Amino acid sequence: MSPVLLEKDQFVHGIWAESARDLEWQPGRPLNIGWQCSDRLCRLGLGEKPALLWEDHQGNARRYTFDDLRVLTDTMAAFLRDEAGLHPGERICLFLDRVPELYFGFLAILKMGGIVQPLFSAFGDDSLWTRLDNAGTAAVITQRKHLGKVRRARERLPELRTVVVVDAGDLALGPGELALDLERRERVERFAGLATDPETPSVLHYTSGTTGQPKGAQHVHLSVLGQALTARRVLDLGPDDVYWCNADPGWVTGTSYGIIGPWANGVTQAVLDAGFQSDRWYAFLEKYRVTVWYSAPTAIRLLMRDGTELARRYDLSALRHLASVGEPLNPEAVIWSREAFGRPFHDTYWQTETGAIVIANLPGMEVKPGSMGKPFPGVTAAVLDARTGEPVTAPGRAGLLALRPDFPSLIRSYWRNPDAFAAKFRNGWYLTGDRASIDADGYFWFVGRDDDVINTGGHLVGPFEIESAMLEHPAVAESAAVAKPDAVNMEVVKAFVVLKPGHAPNDDLELEIMNTLRRRLSPLAMPQEIAFVPSLPKTRSGKIMRRVLRAQEWGEPVGDLSTMMEE
Amino acid sequence: MNELQKLVRDYVVREYLEEGDTREIGLDTPLISGGIVDSFSMVSLKRFLEKKCALQIPDAEATPAAFDSVRTIVELVDRLGGKGPVG
């Protein structure tokens, strides 16, 4: 039985009922995110309104209305069901850069009843294979530049039947590989989408923990109630907005608030498929007259480096609301944004598992720079005493940040791993894995992680995955990966490596290990620094004590060392 | 392209360009804004330059703008007095 506790009454009365009414949904009726984000809006007369303003790094631009969105997602859904032979409930991976097909594919998969598995296209061979293997993925939708990685993974994935290439052109495709040229394909005007139950699995996002390989966070269609409402109430999205969310849909922000939240509200969104450059970003904000911008502290700190003067060279007068997510927003960034844009970034807090924002600085609320804000109405949050598991009442005292599991967007389980999900609960509270405190005014303040997971640039990276990949290197005997403080990314990965006999530390080896990790896992998981050490601190039972290494990096006390093995 | 520019170009193609990416990398091809090298991978590129050109690149100089093309990277190395390529 799922530890998530929802009552039907919740969607008849109270805050979630408001969202249900807005989405024209009633308990007991089917609910499908794909339909909500396209067909429903066309029925409301928004068919000619721009849904997606897309641009790539070369300046190529495309514009799609909500009616385009409806027809193109119907066309893609029909292709997936009728030509690719995919069935409801099967996992279908999107392994794409931020091309339009990524956004259409997301809704198309949901319309035909599939489970979307979006993966960051910079993932290397091992990261890709691990996630496809765990999900038992039936199909991958990709583009030719990533096809090599998908083909190599498929050699070891018997359940992966089909690979769809959206830009195949004249490329010779092999068995089980299909080309989909969406722009040239005959359009399907009406696809009979699956009338999914609200509890039908919708999206599978992989997230890292301290132990084991990443887990698939299993969302359901009902999550749209949370995503749509918070998009309006927290991000302040309204009918006249042009909205830009920087996040890649390989991560949960890029789907909950880069696809579902804005489009469920019929909001026009702009997408830039390009890497970071301050001037390019400002030019994009100016060109599309972006009004609401959802960004991340890492990006904001990179913009800060280039100064307010650069920001002032662009006409950013359309901007009216700024919000941030991914890691705590430092006070300096809030203050800087007031100088650069005339308004503060509003920090928001949530995670892959919560599916939607749970704690936030709401529009109009006094922003305390550095604070996470207050719980979103309808979400009950507390800080628990680690020993007793009871809520802490003393202001300012740090503890485990926990949530009552009674809001619609919380995941229902980890894919094929319900025990790991059950372990996230204590005394009827869902434990976020973060530590926080609450001040006398009810504002929440982030303290840090309660485990060894590394939050780099707003993305969680698990030490186990890095250490496992590192051990594959012929020179590495043992390793430990920990978080190291970083001025831009908050944390970056630092690896401690013990070499096998016959290998000596040198610059070539350091670079080789870094590049190996980047290719096998991802740029995020690549250690930004490697320390070659003669041994690693361990418990008497032989377990590596990452917390000792981490404490050294952060200049913190190392804590109880009574279980440490003596050299 | 001079010797150092070729060295950087070849390294970028070998290490960062996806195998199915058919883009030609020229002197001014945008590497960061073009999505070929991301801000995390800049660290390994920085290490490569430091090793090959026998110099230290201060973190403040290792910006997305400075690493955005083969030309700007080599200009940075020259400005910092890099010897490159060595070894």
Q: What is the pLDDT of residues A34-85, one digit of tens each?
A: 999 999 999 999 999 999 999 999 999 999 999 999 999 999 999 999 999 9
- Name the residue among A376, A384, A383 with its Cα closest to residue A410: A376
Query: How many structural domains compose chain A?
Result: 2
Quick: pLDDT tens for A429-474.
999 999 999 999 999 999 988 889 999 988 999 999 999 999 999 9
What is the percentage of chain B residues whose pLDDT exceeds 70? 97
Interface test with A, best of B44, B50, B59, B61 (most A CBs within 10 A): B44
What confidence score (pLDDT) does residue A94 get?
98
CB contact under 8 A, A523 and B38: yes
User: Closest-CA residue in chain B for A520?
Assistant: B15
User: Model ipTM?
Assistant: 0.91
CB contact under 8 A, B39 and A457: yes
The answer on pLDDT for A339 being more than 70 is: yes
How far, CA to CA in Å, does A8 sit from each of A196, A226, A298?
Answer: 17, 15, 40
Task: Output the six-digit token pair for A321.
Answer: 């609301």
CB contact under 8 A, B35 and A507: no
Is residue A561, in this structure, part of any structural domain at all? no
Q: Which residues pair with A527 in a beta bridge?
A: none
Residues A117 and A265 reside in one and the same domain: yes
Q: What is the DSSP letter of A429?
A: E
Interface test with A, best of B13, B16, B25, B40 (most A CBs within 10 A): B40
Nearby residues of A344 by Cβ (< 8 Å), 6 or more positions away: A322, A334, A335, A337, A338, A367, A369
What confidence score (pLDDT) does residue B84 get?
67
Q: What are phi and psi of B70, to 5 degrees?
A: -60, -40
Write out the residue range of the structural domain in which residue A172 sits.
8-435
For chains A and B, CB pairs below 8 A equal 89
Instruction: Average the pLDDT over A248-260 and give the result.
Output: 97
CB contact under 8 A, A457 and B40: yes
pTM equals: 0.94
Is residue B84, in this structure, part of any structural domain at all? no
Residues A429 and A461 reside in one and the same domain: no
Query: Please, what's the largest Cα pairwise distance for chain A?
Result: 73
Is residue A395, in this structure, part of any structural domain at all? yes
What confidence score (pLDDT) does residue B82 get?
77
Residues of A in contact with B35 (CB under 8 A): 57, 97, 273-275
CB contact under 8 A, A122 and B38: yes
Residues of B in contact with A305 (CB under 8 A): 63
* Alpha-carbon span A357 to A149, nearest angstrom: 33
Q: What residues of chain A, 482 to 511, have a C-beta less than 8 Å from chain B?
A: 488-489, 492, 507-508, 510-511
Quick: pLDDT tens for A495-528.
999 999 999 999 999 999 999 999 999 999 999 9
Is residue B70, in this structure, part of any structural domain at all? yes
* Alpha-carbon span A530 to A97, nearest angstrom: 30
Q: What is the DSSP letter of B27?
A: T
Residue with tokens 């994935």: A157
User: Closest-CA residue in chain A for B46?
Assistant: A511
Q: How confident is the model at residue A1 (pLDDT cuts 50, 70, 90)?
A: low
What confidence score (pLDDT) does residue A567 get?
54
* B56 in A contact zone (CB under 8 Å): no
CB contact under 8 A, B40 and A524: yes
* Alpha-carbon span B22 to A341, nearest angstrom: 39
Q: Which stretches of chain B score pLDDT less than 70?
A: 84, 86-87
Is residue B71, in this structure, part of any structural domain at all? yes
CATH number at residue A537: 3.30.300.30
CATH number at residue A151: 3.40.50.12780
How far, CA to CA in Å, does B54 sit from each of A491, A527, B2, B4, B77?
Answer: 28, 22, 18, 13, 10
Write out the residue range of the structural domain in which residue B52 sits.
3-17+26-79
Residues of B in contact with A521 (CB under 8 A): none
What confidence score (pLDDT) does residue A28 get?
92
Task: Output the six-digit token pair for A44.
Answer: 């409301």
CATH number at residue B33: 1.10.1200.10
- Name the residue among A294, A297, A296 with its Cα closest to residue A230: A294
* Alpha-carbon span A424 to A215, nearest angstrom: 13
Nearby residues of A161 by Cβ (< 8 Å), 6 or more positions away: A85, A138, A139, A176
Is residue A175, in this structure, part of any structural domain at all? yes
Residues A230 and A336 reside in one and the same domain: yes
